[in-house]
């Protein structure tokens, strides 16, 4: 799978992408607001799972390399997975290498994948969760057109303390208006 935007290419991973994926996952800033960071074995297992997803039928999980269109350099990951089949809800997530933060790449990738979910995956609703202290992710959700559904109090254990979690969503009918 490949989706091309003005500045990005969102594409399936290949086995050649492992060193990039490992760099992304080992970066401590990639997991600053998460419950845990993966170890080397988990990273390898996760990557093999990502490669397997590309041939699943039906495909219910997409992990895509976010690459610059200019030179095809991988700069991050954007993913979407079927979260709740009965209501056609998909969950989106993203992470970029820190040197590509605050350039609009995350918003562009997220907005594009949300559009893909509505046009090609029969999604009714796309949700995203973020640690309430992760203000940059919240900005991405807002800029991608998502609406804040609420806050889940103390649902994450992060950095030795309980943290609140934001939930944002986009609905199919809202996407049709844009």
What's the mean per-residue pLDDT of the chain?
96
Name the pLDDT band for 77 (thresholds 50, 70, 90): very high
User: How many residues comprise the chain?
Assistant: 178
Query: What are the tens digits of pLDDT across the range 8-17?
Result: 999 999 999 9
What are 80-131's pLDDT values in tens digits?
999 999 999 999 999 999 999 999 999 999 999 999 999 999 999 999 999 9
Domains of the chain (ranges; CATH) run: 2-177 (3.40.630.30)
């Amino acid at each position: 799978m490949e989706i091309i935007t003005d500045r990005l290419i969102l594409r399936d991973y290949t086995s050649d992408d492992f060193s990039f994926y490992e760099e992304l996952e080992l970066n401590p800033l990639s997991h600053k607001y998460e419950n845990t960071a993966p170890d080397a074995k988990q990273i390898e297992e996760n990557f093999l799972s990502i490669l397997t997803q590309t041939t699943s039928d039906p495909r219910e999980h997409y992990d895509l390399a976010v690459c610059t269109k200019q030179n095809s350099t991988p700069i991050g990951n954007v993913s979407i997975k079927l979260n709740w089949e009965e209501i056609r809800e998909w969950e989106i997530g993203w992470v970029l290498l820190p040197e590509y933060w605050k350039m609009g790449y995350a918003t562009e990738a997220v907005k594009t994948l949300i559009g893909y979910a509505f046009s090609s995956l029969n999604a009714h609703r796309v949700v995203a969760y973020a640690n309430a202290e992760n203000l940059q992710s919240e900005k991405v959700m807002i800029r991608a057109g998502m609406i804040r559904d609420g806050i889940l109090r103390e649902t994450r254990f992060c950095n030795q303390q309980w943290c609140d979690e934001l939930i944002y969503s986009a609905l199919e009918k809202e996407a049709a208006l844009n």
